[in-house]
Structure 1
Amino acid sequence: MRFATAEIDGEEFCGLLDRQRFHPVDGGDLRELLSSGELAGAGRRARSRAGVPLESVRLRAPLQPPTIRDFVAFEEHVEGVARAVSGTGVAPEWYLAPTFYFTNPHAVTGPFDEVARPPGCRVLDFELEVAAVVGRTGRDLTPEQAREHIAGYTVLNDWSARDLQSTEMKVGLGPAKGKDFASTLGPCLVTADELEPYRDSDGFLRLQMRVSVNGEEIGRDLLSNMGWPFEDLVSYASRGAEIRPGDVLGSGTCGNGGCLAELWGRPDRADPPALEPGDVVEMTVEGIGTIRNRVTEGTEPPPVRRAAPRPRDRS
């Protein structure tokens, strides 16, 4: 099944997408349906109703997640960005476990929304990903158990302000204003069973991923090139911590042009320019769908003063 959130006459409804029609469901929004365990039942009931033409609604983000963990599971992406930033290779520690960071769940944008360039940014980038959505509460899960906790998948664009990110990460903490301004989800949540036919013999989902800017293809990869399958990501996230319905776990950016920063380190092609207002970024993932966002100009930020020198008195 495919679940989406749509705006109809100024109101938002969770619903089932079926043959170019949107069928509103009962029982609340998508996150509430996941928490109650009633997602499949609500979808079956909704399918029996007439619904409305999909072109008459505006699709929003499928859900507003309580948390977003974004992993970095593609070796080729890590390799390309490391080469562009520092001229080095993949850190040996990357191979030990699937690393992630938390990003802002309050900055989720819809699949066809405009996205403003964040204040102070002049080097804006996209990041093509797939995200798993948690359907059941769990803790300290094995990968086999974790598979049963994945409700479905959606497309994720983890937008990045590369200039801001580069500066703030030198402090040694992690991305902040370089990442927290926008994460696009959509166009729908595809339930996990729908994508099982794409699973390969190694347990990875073999889905084609593509991204273009202003109609020109920039990157193309397979989701199965992840270093770990999603079950391992969910299992690791649950280690000593609780995952809950609606939590979003991103795959990390795919390789082969999944973001511009990866390409900036390649000597065999001209550097693609950073995104500018007016640029349209389109991402398509096989079996899930397409998101399309136009970049707009952001606001000018107020100045940030330097840290004040302090005498370090103790009394």
Structure 2
Amino acid sequence: MRFARRSTAEGPRLAVLDDAGALVDLPTTADLPELLAHDGRLTTLADQALRTRRTVTEPDAARLLAPLQPPTIRDFSTFPEHTAGIVRNTDPAAGIPPEFWEIPTFYFSNPYAVTGPYDDVPIPPHCRRFDYELEVAAVVGRAGRDLSVEEAAAHIAGFVILNDYSARDVQFHEMRLRLGPAKGKDTATALGSLFVTADELEPRRSGPSYDLRMRVSVNGVVLGEDSLHNMAWSFEALAAYASRATWIRPGDLLGSGTCQGGCLAEMWGRHGDGFHAPLQPGDEVVTTVDILGETRNRIVAGPPAHEISPWRRP
């Protein structure tokens, strides 16, 4: 099944898509994480909505929101070709770190920064090298702790597109302290137009992942393409690692990390700064993934920076 979340006068409303792509409201005001917390509740309400069809909205008449407000976002690194390009920004001779093959590392991103698929995205203060990142995120559907990879499959409810907007100059500056990324990733994480249940992708299963074409364009020019199949770590492995000595819970996002060619920083590392200018106000960034829909965000000017300084220096 495919679901979208639309804005209404009474607040956000979750809807299931019918065979023609129309949005059929679920008979509840509950959001996706709450419904996923009860096994079978989401599909039961979706079946009921499709039978009764009390409120049906054409996609063009809906203002779509992010499909969910996740309680946590873990963003991983799973595409080796992306890593091989990104490390060249700091060392042109660098290769893929051996740790890439040892653990599916991640950082926690900011759930308050979740942005809708068609919302404007502001450039953060002090940023002159603004960037996009084309990813797919798994949505946790069942709570679990200390899961094996085999057990983790039952804890993944579905998938969304994730575009992790990044202030590259801010990110690389703060990471010199061996922490982060933090503020470099803090402004906007755009989620795609649809939440698609895991069973919908099974016909496209390819090894431990899926054969889904991923594409990103700026102002109508395609700048990167890849397949989700090229992940080196499966989503089940990400869920298992995320659950070590802690809980994953319904609605948590597990990002795939950027695909090959899925961001400007990787291409700057491979080809130099002349590949493409950083994002500027007025640019339109579009990401698409087979079956999962799209994001389409206009970049706008952000707020001015308020200066801060330490209260003492050595």
Identity in percent = 51
Counterpart of 1:45 in structure 2: which amino acid?
A: Q
Q: Which of 218, 227, 235 is the equivalent residue of 1:222?
A: 227
Match of 2:306 in 1: 302
Name the TM-score, length of structure 2 as normaliser: 0.95
Match of 1:181 in 2: 187
Tell me whether 1:62 sits opposite 2:64 in the alignment: no
Paired residue secondary structure (1:173): coil
Residue 79 of structure 1 and its aligned partner are, at CA, apart by 0.5
Aligned equivalents of 2:271, 2:58: Cα separation in 1: 48
Match of 1:134 in 2: 140
Matches for 1:259-270 after TM superposition, within 5 Å: 259-267=263-271, 270=274
Tell me whether 1:109 sits opposite 2:115 in the alignment: yes
Residue 265 of structure 1 and its aligned partner are, at CA, apart by 1.8
CA-atom RMSD in angstroms: 1.4
Match of 2:101 in 1: 95
Tell me whether 1:36 sits opposite 2:38 in the alignment: yes
Aligned equivalents of 2:229, 2:21: Cα separation in 1: 28
Paired residue secondary structure (1:266): helix
The answer for unaligned runs of 5 or more in structure 2 is: none
Paired residue secondary structure (1:193): helix
Paired residue secondary structure (1:210): strand
Aligned equivalents of 1:263, 1:307: Cα separation in 2: 39
Aligned equivalents of 1:117, 1:169: Cα separation in 2: 19
The answer for unaligned runs of 5 or more in structure 1 is: 311-315
Counterpart of 1:47 in structure 2: which amino acid?
A: L
Cα 1:283–1:61, aligned 2, differ >3 Å: closer, same or farther?
A: same
Aligned 8 A contact 1:121 1:164 in 2: yes
Residue 269 of structure 1 and its aligned partner are, at CA, apart by 9.2
Aligned equivalents of 2:191, 2:153: Cα separation in 1: 21
Residue 250 of structure 1 and its aligned partner are, at CA, apart by 0.2
Residue 94 of structure 1 and its aligned partner are, at CA, apart by 1.2
Matches for 1:210-289 after TM superposition, within 5 Å: 210-255=215-260, 257-267=261-271, 270-289=274-293
Q: Which of 112, 128, 131 is the equivalent residue of 1:125?
A: 131
Counterpart of 1:65 in structure 2: which amino acid?
A: P
Counterpart of 2:21 in structure 1: which amino acid?
A: Q
Tell me whether 1:77 sits opposite 2:82 in the alignment: yes
Residue 16 of structure 1 and its aligned partner are, at CA, apart by 0.6
Aligned equivalents of 2:311, 2:46: Cα separation in 1: 54
Which aligned segments of 4 or more residues in structure 1 are displaced greater than 4 angstroms? none
Q: Which of 200, 205, 208 is the equivalent residue of 1:199?
A: 205
Aligned 8 A contact 1:133 1:248 in 2: yes
Query: CA-to-partner distance for each residue in 1:173-194, whole Å, 9 max, x for gaps?
Result: 1111111111011211100000
Aligned equivalents of 2:152, 2:164: Cα separation in 1: 23
Match of 2:13 in 1: 13
Aligned 8 A contact 1:23 1:49 in 2: no
Query: CA-to-partner distance for each residue in 1:138-177, whole Å, 9 max, x for gaps?
Result: 0111111111110000000011000000100000111111
Stretch of structure 1 that moved more, 191-200 or 50-59? 50-59
Paired residue secondary structure (2:158): strand
Cα 1:246–1:149, aligned 2, differ >3 Å: closer, same or farther?
A: same
Aligned equivalents of 1:241, 1:36: Cα separation in 2: 20
Tell me whether 1:22 sits opposite 2:26 in the alignment: no
Paired residue secondary structure (2:210): coil
Aligned 8 A contact 1:260 1:274 in 2: yes
Aligned equivalents of 1:57, 1:13: Cα separation in 2: 11
Counterpart of 2:90 in structure 1: which amino acid?
A: V
Paired residue secondary structure (1:133): strand
Residue 221 of structure 1 and its aligned partner are, at CA, apart by 0.2
